């Protein structure tokens, strides 16, 4: 294995203790709230293969590989699948995880929270309330004022720069 692979294995192992379930999640996933419904083939035509893997198959991109983890421009982050505004750049912070992290969504209605027990841990999964696309996870180790860290996949987002 390469040095980079060993570092990623070590990093993942160190992050597992921080992956506890967030107890105060408000908006649990409900199929009733999803407003955009497309077939798997329609999503495959609209999204890149990596976007499809993350947004529709609940995958994840490698840490430090996404285009927004180190973005410091002013603007808003929208869902890459349906363009629902999700986060303001002012709520983005440096989490050190290699994924774009935010402490607060634009509103309480844009994200839904569900349980994810993949990879041997229980986490709170975050999906877009409009299309149901997998965005990432939320953890209770973020900065004030919320104490939350919305850890998102860059590929699930699109950045709209402020003019």
Give the C-alpha separation, 76 to 92, whole Å.
10
Is 19 a known active-site residue?
no
Full 3-state SS string of 66-131: CCCCCCCCCEEEEECCCCCEEEEHHHEECCCCCCCEECCCCCCCCEEEEEECHHHCCEEEEEECCC
Beta strands at 75-79 and 111-116: parallel, antiparallel or unpaired = unpaired
Q: Active-site residue among 19, 79, 131, 151?
A: 151
CB 98 within 8 A of CB 107: no
* Catalytic residue annotation: 151
């Amino acid at each position: 294995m390469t040095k980079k692979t060993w570092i990623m294995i070590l990093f993942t192992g160190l992050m597992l203790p921080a992956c506890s379930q967030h107890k105060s999640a408000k908006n649990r996933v409900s199929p009733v709230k999803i407003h955009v419904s497309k077939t798997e083939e329609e999503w495959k035509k609209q999204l890149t293969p990596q976007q499809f893997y993350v947004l529709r198959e609940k995958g994840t991109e490698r840490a430090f590989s996404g285009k927004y983890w180190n973005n410091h421009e002013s603007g808003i982050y929208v869902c890459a699948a349906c363009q629902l505004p999700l986060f303001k750049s002012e709520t983005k912070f440096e989490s050190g995880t290699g994924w774009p992290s935010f402490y607060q969504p634009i509103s309480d209605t844009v994200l839904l929270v569900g349980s994810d027990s993949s990879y041997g841990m229980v986490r709170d999964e975050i999906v877009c309330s409009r299309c149901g696309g997998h965005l990432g996870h939320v953890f209770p180790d973020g900065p004030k004022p919320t104490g939350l860290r919305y850890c998102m996949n860059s590929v699930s987002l699109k950045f709209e720069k402020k003019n």
